[in-house]
Amino acid sequence: MEKSILAAKTFAALRSVIKAPVTELQYTNPYELLVAVLLSAQCTDARVNLVTPALFTRFPDPHALSCVTTAEILPYIQSVTFPNNKAAHRAKLGHVLMEKHGGSIPQSVEEIEKLPGCGHKTAEVVASVAFGIPAFPVDTHVFRVSNRIGLVSGKTVKEVEVQLKALFPKSEWSEGHHLLILHGRYTCKAQNPQCTSCVLATCCAYKAQMDMLPATVVGLKPRLGAYYCADCHQYCNQFIAITDENGLEQGSCPQCGSVHLHHTKTGKTAMKIRDFRV
């Protein structure tokens, strides 16, 4: 399937099940969005939403944030990931916003990137969500989902971003970012993706590969070995590691060299297919 057709099918299908493709972070203005996005790095939106009400009550604007120390911010964000680093960056953020931007949030990706603790993804999210600037931020969900589906073949976040922006019109970038994030968060999960209930099951490259894996073998005997070869019907406790054409390490039978090994405790295949992490 041509990628342009796959792209259209993907967004049409996701729109049918995701009625509100927007950020799940809770905020009321660009300042609150910026702080929430920064706190969400390697942390869940749900966790961030638990701490921001008290944080924003105490520090409602850049001026309030510029008047405090790291130690004063830390108690409010203690339960998010990397609280010490994030508290230090938030204290610096208040000073920079007041001194260089008059207490306002800059509206370009380039200027937001210069703020303490801000990277390219954060800048694109804030520019897109707060100011409506076309952007296609790539986080771990977007990276995983777009590669799994087959929309892109990027090995880095930058490669995926470039390919997605080339594939979709600017008018769909921001919406597409949220569609892919929400699909990855609730359906196409990193562990145990819900392929059987996925609206993209018929056009997803990852699902097609999963369907080609050997079926589970029942009635195996773990006491005879950790692995069972479906070709020579022998048991073994160790396999010979080989690298397949996709660069993945597979286990091969020490008796016949077949890669059709199964875990004897579960009967599931030991074969691996390529997955995507960032």
In tens, the pLDDT along 8-55 reads: 999 999 999 999 999 999 999 999 999 999 999 999 999 999 999 999
CATH topology of domain 30-131: Endonuclease III; domain 1 (1.10.340)
**Active-site residue among 9, 45, 121, 211?**
121
Q: List CB contacts of 116: < 8 A, sequence separation 6 or more.
A: 89, 92, 93, 96
Q: Are 200 and 14 in contact (CB under 8 A)?
A: yes
- How confident is the model over 216-232, as pLDDT tens digits? 999 999 999 999 999 99
Contact 199, 9 (CB under 8 A): no
**Phi/psi class of residue 79: alpha, beta or left (left: φ > 0; alpha: ψ in -120 to 50)?**
alpha
At residue 63, what is the residue type?
A: H
pLDDT for the residue 246: 80
Q: What is the mean pLDDT of the chain?
A: 96
Q: What is the tens place of the pLDDT at every residue in 160-176?
A: 999 999 999 999 999 99
Catalytic residue among 139, 231, 265, 272: 139
Sign of CA dihedral 260, 263, 268, 273: negative
pLDDT tens digits, one per residue of 119-172: 999 999 999 999 999 999 999 999 999 999 999 999 999 999 999 999 999 999
pLDDT 10s digits, 174-218: 999 999 999 999 999 999 999 999 999 999 999 999 999 999 999
Q: How confident is the model at residue 247 (pLDDT cuts 50, 70, 90)?
A: confident
Instruction: Tell me whether residue 158 is one of the annotated catalytic residues.
Output: no
pLDDT in the model for residue 204 = 97
Residue boundaries of the structural domains of the chain: 30-131, 214-263
Task: Establish whether 121 is a catalytic residue.
Answer: yes
